[in-house]
Structure 1
Amino acid sequence: MRGLKKQRRIQVIILALVCLVGATGLIGFALRDGINLFRSPTQVAEAAPAPGEVFRLGGLVAQGSIRKGEGVHF
């Protein structure tokens, strides 16, 4: 009986490790294109991005800073 418990415990540990390796592989596969980081307009103005660099522009919009007309103007 004791040997069966020990064997079951080892099987559970091995299964957990296989699942952990699988999850790590899936995360790596999902992130292979990279992570698009948010940058504020101030950061972009201070240091221009490299040609072809992909990033997301984010930040808060100040009250009254958007004028609507033929398109959107800041």
Structure 2
Amino acid sequence: SVGEEREGVEGALAAVLREIGARREDGVMELLPSKQRALTEAFSLPREMVRRLGIQKLVLERVALLALEL
């Protein structure tokens, strides 16, 4: 484990990013309409389920199920 406290985790992340010459880009996590469409198609998510539960929960569920199949 990297740490249980936020500061320790953020420090470790900063060190890794420095080491690999990368920077954190939080905007990549924005759920834009184009990303919603792509995720809905890629994971075959029914519209009604997306409306009721939200795309994030459904994608997380599908990814977890895929991990169990491995």
Give the TM-score range, shorter chain. under 0.3
TM-score (norm 1): 0.24
Larger radius of gyration: 1
Q: TM-score, normalised by structure 2?
A: 0.25
